[in-house]
């Protein structure tokens, strides 16, 4: 069984994230969305809130699970016997960051692979940071995040 990890902070999960999860679910037997800790990001939603949001958003995908981890993603993979990480890139900046992570991961865990997926044109510009900014300035976010969590996001960020 080919398992893959799709890591991120998902603060909050967006339709761009969801698109990549749905596509990865067609390519792999099991996709684990890993809510991971990122020392460079201050999250707005608690770990439990993000776990709940993501679980709701992927409930229709039977081969997708959600997990959390507060260490290096590659160490999670090593512990769970998973040899593939899925990442999304939207632009050149994302590419540079992912390339660096790939090389670090290769040094830490020989044989780990990274599969890069690019979002569709509609989701190319969506980011969790942009969602937060839109909410703060009272803009409609319903076409950028899963519909079932729009109200929760609006309440939390306003």
To which residue do tokens 């703060």 refer? Answer: 136
- Structural domain includes residue 24: yes
- Structural domain includes residue 99: yes
For 87-142, what is each residue's pLDDT tens digit? 999 999 999 999 999 999 999 999 999 999 999 999 999 999 999 999 999 999 99
Q: Is 90 a catalytic residue?
A: yes
Burial (CB count <10 Å: 0-12, 13-18, 19+), residue 12: buried
Query: Into how many domains does the chain fold?
Result: 1
| Residues 87 and 116 sit within 8 Å (Cβ to Cβ) | yes
- Structural domain includes residue 149: no
Q: Is 23 a catalytic residue?
A: no
What DSSP assignment string belongs to 67-110? Answer: EEESS-HHHHHHHHT--EEEEE--SHHHHHHHHHHHHHHHHHST
Domain span at 81: 3-125
- Structural domain includes residue 49: yes
- Residue 1 is predicted with a pLDDT of 81
For 65-96, what is each residue's pLDDT tens digit? 999 999 999 999 999 999 999 999 999 999 99
**Residue among 3, 23, 65, 90 flagged as catalytic:** 90
Element (H, E) at 154: helix 150-157
Q: Is 87 a catalytic residue?
A: no
| CATH number, position 40 | 3.40.50.620
Q: Is 139 a catalytic residue?
A: no
Tell me the β-bridge partners of 33. 6, 66
- Report the predicted TM-score, pTM, of the whole model to 2 decimal places: 0.94
**Residue among 17, 50, 87, 132 flagged as catalytic:** 17
């Amino acid at each position: 069984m080919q398992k893959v990890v799709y890591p991120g902070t998902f603060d909050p999960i967006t339709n761009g994230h969801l698109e990549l999860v749905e596509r990865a679910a067609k390519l792999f037997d099991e996709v684990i969305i890993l809510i991971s800790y990122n020392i460079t990001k201050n999250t707005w939603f608690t770990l439990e809130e993000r776990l709940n949001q993501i679980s709701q958003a992927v409930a229709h995908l039977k081969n997708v699970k959600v997990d959390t981890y507060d260490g290096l993603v590659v160490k999670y993979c090593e512990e769970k016997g998973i040899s593939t990480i899925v990442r999304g890139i939207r632009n050149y900046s994302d590419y540079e960051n992912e390339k660096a992570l790939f090389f670090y991961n290769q040094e830490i865990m020989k044989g780990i692979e990274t599969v890069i997926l690019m979002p569709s044109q509609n989701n190319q510009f969506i980011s969790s940071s942009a969602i937060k900014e839109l909410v703060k300035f009272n803009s409609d976010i319903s076409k950028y995040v899963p519909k079932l969590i729009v109200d929760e996001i609006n309440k939390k960020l306003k």
